[in-house]
Amino acid sequence: MTTPAAPSVLFVCVHNAGRSQMAAAFLTHLAGDKVQVRSAGSAPADAVNPAVVEAMKESGIDISAETPKVLTVEAVQASDVVITMGCGDACPYFPGKRYLDWKLDDPAGQGVQAVRPIRDEIEQRIRGLLAELEIEPAS
């Protein structure tokens, strides 16, 4: 009996320094190796937003070692689900992929106080995505 391949999810935002980093971190944290997780940006920043790093640390997830990555056609092709967050037009489209566009506030230039509600909304959306994928989240 073979185990089906883990689904692959790509999170894309403009700078890959906030929303997509939080989403990828929550999915990795909650799904473990049951999902392949990628994140990228259409115009990546030099570093992950420090307020995002702090807000995620409050949730027990350390993303301080993460770096923004550039969006590539290969990353989209290798993903089953592509979730855009404010840069849908910059993301290449391939038939057969599932595309979702999550409307979320941009944490760029915001303090940790403003990032917390965005972080919490992302976590809830990730939990919903796991339910759709029929993957039990880690506790």
Annotated active-site positions, please?
13, 87, 91
The Cα 46–Cα 53 span in angstroms is 14
CA distances to 17, 22, 52, 113 from 120, rounded to whole Å, are: 17, 10, 12, 12
DSSP 83-132: EESS-GGGS---TT-EEEE------TT--HHHHHHHHHHHHHHHHHHHHH
Cβ-contact 68, 127 below 8 angstroms: no
First and final CA of the chain: distance in angstroms?
28
Give which of 43, 47, 39, 37 is closest to 17, Cα–Cα.
47
